[in-house]
Amino acid sequence: LFLRGNGTLPPLHRPPDASMKRFYAFCSLALSFLLSGCSLPPPQGRTVSQALDAAETTSTPLGHGVQVLRQQAGATPDLTGFYPIRDANEAFAARALLARGAQRSLDVQYYIWRSDTTGNLLLHELIEAADRGVRVRLLLDDGGTGGLDDTLLALDSHPLIEVRLFNPFVLRWPKPLGYATDFFRLNRRMHNKSFTADSQASIVGGRNVGNEYFGATDGVLFADLDLLTVGAVAQDVSSDFDRYWASLSAYPVEHIVTRAAALSLDALRAQGTDLLQSAQARKYREAIAQTPFIQRLLQAQLPLEWVPARLVSDDPAKALGKTRGRALIGAQIIHALGEPEHALDVISPYFIPTDEGVAALATLRDQGVRVRVLTNSVQATDVVVVHAGYAKYRKPLLRHGVELFELRQLAPADGQDGARQHAAASPLGSSGSSLHAKTMAVDGQRVFVGSFNFDPRSAALNTEMGIVVDSPVLAEQIQQAFATQIPAMAYRVDTDEQGQLRWHSGVGEPPPMYTSEPDMGLLRRLLVWLVGILPVEWLL
């Protein structure tokens, strides 16, 4: 760090004496030990457990409700019932209420779990469930557990709660230093997201756990989409959770965080109780009280759409670089959605099609398939470097006739409150200034909802999951969104006669048109240019 460009040390005010030389040597040795002396513990010593078979939980309130709803609909056992969750507050409430409705088991798997209001409230719901006798298994990608070590140790001390960390960092602080010695392992993350109760009902979609995903922050709010599922796919999600729970990349938290816990379970329980009654949790208490559909599920009154559905999910061995070809989720999604004949609608916050993807979309266009894409604009994205990976593909996509829309950063007047007004009709979610939903619809018939982004990271590095439903109803909602709502919320991108990009806003009299990217400041422009010329696309 102190070397000049020619490899020599810069001059000091005075030559270092012997004690300073010893100090430098000690620091160098300590850093070397810190970075190279850490290794993962052996995989032995893990408990063995499996998800409950749905037949074991038919007598629970959730199981009874699902069975009655199936009978009322005349649905066969191979069908899946689902209910879309769009509103951010309802998405939080659904998870809390599903935890409260569980009687036998909770299997919970997430990429990010924030140590904030909503994250801690949901952890409290897990404790409350375990206190009632519910077995809780919590599997978290360790890249998204910042600041939670003591909390997770306290949780794990409950006799009915077990916590595992996926692909963990051995060095707990500062975590990023782990990349210096184990980059190619730690660069692969578990991006899966599911919340399953009694092997009967599961919430699957794009949301992580944190304030920004549930509308409780003044920063970025993510417009998102989840599916509450029951029936065949919910059982498949339970089995898939077992694959990850038992994988070689899932480590018991006490094997990774080996220091003494600084927080007791009783103290954590008390903190959660106080938080639930606090002013900052008020709107979430209200959301729980005002969200009816989990109670209606328990009472067998929830209107579900019963359809053929398929879980698509990476093998957890992908995190070890051992999954290839047709086993990857991208190939699974293509197979499950089928070859588009008329229309392909893609909604992805991070959209980097690569040259191969551009060629595939161009082939669809040559076959007469209408292709529409919604992604984040540079002003709405939360990851500017990913936008840089996308930006260079705009002109090639437009030349082939792909329709591009970039979500604007919505101001409070037309954003959170305005979007919530059309939550019931929007397939994107209820509110937010940044798109986070990952959805694809084919021919107005089949829809994918899950964690998969249309980018190289989701395709080749991270593990992903999602559900493909044969739902003309949901597919039609997405088609209608592209026709009516999305033009009002996004820039439509095209090119002029000289082939230069233009951004058309759907709001205003007349709607403004921009010949340079809106809100692209000098620093962002420089960053986008720099990332665009570097060979880093495979990392994005």
Structure tokens at 535: 């060979």
**In 246-353, which ranges are continuous DSSP H helix?**
253-256, 265-276, 282-290, 293-298, 329-337
Residue 345 annotated among the catalytic residues of the structure: no
Cα angle 276-424-296, degrees, rounded to a multiple of 5: 60
Instruction: Return the biggest CA–CA distance within the chain.
Output: 86
**Active-site entry in 87, 141, 142, 193:** 193
Residue whose entry in the numeric block shows the structure tokens 């003309």: 472
Distance CA 225, CA 435 (A): 10
Residue 387 annotated among the catalytic residues of the structure: no
**Active-site entry in 87, 142, 198, 345:** 198
Residue 158 annotated among the catalytic residues of the structure: no
**Active-site entry in 124, 191, 318, 387:** 191
Main-chain dihedrals φ then ψ at residue 519, nearest 5 degrees? 60, 30
**Active-site entry in 318, 438, 455, 470:** 438
**Active-site entry in 236, 345, 443, 455:** 443
Contact (CB, 8 A) for 189 and 167 = yes
Contact (CB, 8 A) for 164 and 139 = yes
Residue 193 annotated among the catalytic residues of the structure: yes
Q: Checking phi first, is residue 501 left (phi over 0); if not, alpha (psi -120 to 50) or beta?
A: beta
Residue 10: how many CB atoms within 10 A of its CB? Answer: 7
Residue 242 annotated among the catalytic residues of the structure: no
Nearest Cα to 223, choosing from 435, 424, 427, 383? 435
Distance CA 306, CA 309 (A): 9
Contact (CB, 8 A) for 367 and 343 = no
Residue 51: how many CB atoms within 10 A of its CB? Answer: 21
Cis peptide before 511 (omega within 30 of 0): no
Distance CA 88, CA 92 (A): 7
**Active-site entry in 124, 318, 387, 436:** 436
Helix or strand or coil: residue 403? strand
Main-chain dihedrals φ then ψ at residue 502, nearest 5 degrees? -135, 150
Cis peptide before 174 (omega within 30 of 0): yes
Structure tokens at 455: 């980018």
Distance CA 348, CA 361 (A): 15
Give strand pairing partners of 448.
440, 468
Main-chain dihedrals φ then ψ at residue 242, nearest 5 degrees? -60, -40
Residue 443 annotated among the catalytic residues of the structure: yes
Distance CA 352, CA 388 (A): 9
- Per-residue exposure over 261-293, b if at least 16 CB sit within 10 Å of its own CB, e if not: bebebeebbebbeebbeeeebebbeebbeebeb
Contact (CB, 8 A) for 80 and 229 = yes
Catalytic residues: 191, 193, 198, 436, 438, 443
